[in-house]
Amino acid sequence: MQQQPFSNEPLSISDLPKFETVPLQPLQKKYFKVIAFNILVFTIFLFSGISIAYTMFIEEFTVMTGVVVVGFPLVVIVIILFFARLGFRKKGYAFRTHDAIYKSGIIVESTTIIPFNRVQHVALHQGFISRKLGLATIELFTAGGSTSDLQIPGLLLADAQKIKELIAKKINPAATENVVSIEEENKPQSEANDA
């Protein structure tokens, strides 16, 4: 058997593929309602904590304590909603032939690219509010982790199911062929004859 000569040529950075040029899909606009709901729940806990602290540690009510008890949570809500809206507009995703891309971040932008040949498992997740809005999150797991390495939230449920099927076929094509052949075998005889 003839051995091929070893080669390890340097690559030019300008020749590498540029993920920055990939057009990203924005998240569904309905998903901002989920974000706003989470902020509202956080604010309720914050306001409750401040109110409890007020009743326990402050003996008399002054205008300044009223401003702190009411004004502070309102300012926090406005700031968090402002940055949440900015961050929501910056999020985007794309699926290519060999990988998935997800971009997020306001001040520090983060782009995660997961090659499909590294994906071990794909999951579809729906929270309570997301389910009511018909939204879902796709989670990609690579080897060696108990948490997902990539989460893409704010997808329509139908799109998320299609994406999950696509990725499942990419990571295990033999298993999906077996499922199709089992389904074909289990079809009622009348359906098989109609086809």
Q: What is the dihedral of CA 142, 125, 138, 147, to 10 degrees?
A: -20
pTM: 0.72
Please state, in angstroms and rounded to a whole number, the distance separating the CA atoms of residues 137 and 52.
36
Enclosing H/E stretch for 10: none
HSE-up of residue 130 (Cα within 13 Å, Cβ side): 21
Encode pLDDT of 153-162 as tens digits: 999 999 999 9
pLDDT average, residue stretch 13-22 = 78
Q: Is the dihedral of CA 58, 60, 66, 68 positive or negative?
A: negative
The strand pairing partners of 101, in sequence order, are 94, 113
Encode pLDDT of 54-75 as tens digits: 777 766 667 777 777 677 778 8
**Tokens 């995703």, located at residue:** 93
Domain boundaries, the chain: 26-89, 92-186
Encode pLDDT of 28-59 as tens digits: 999 999 999 998 888 888 788 877 777 777 66
Q: Which CATH class is domain 92-186?
A: mainly beta
Q: Give 3-state DSSP helix, strand, coil % of the chain, rounded to 5.
A: 55, 20, 25
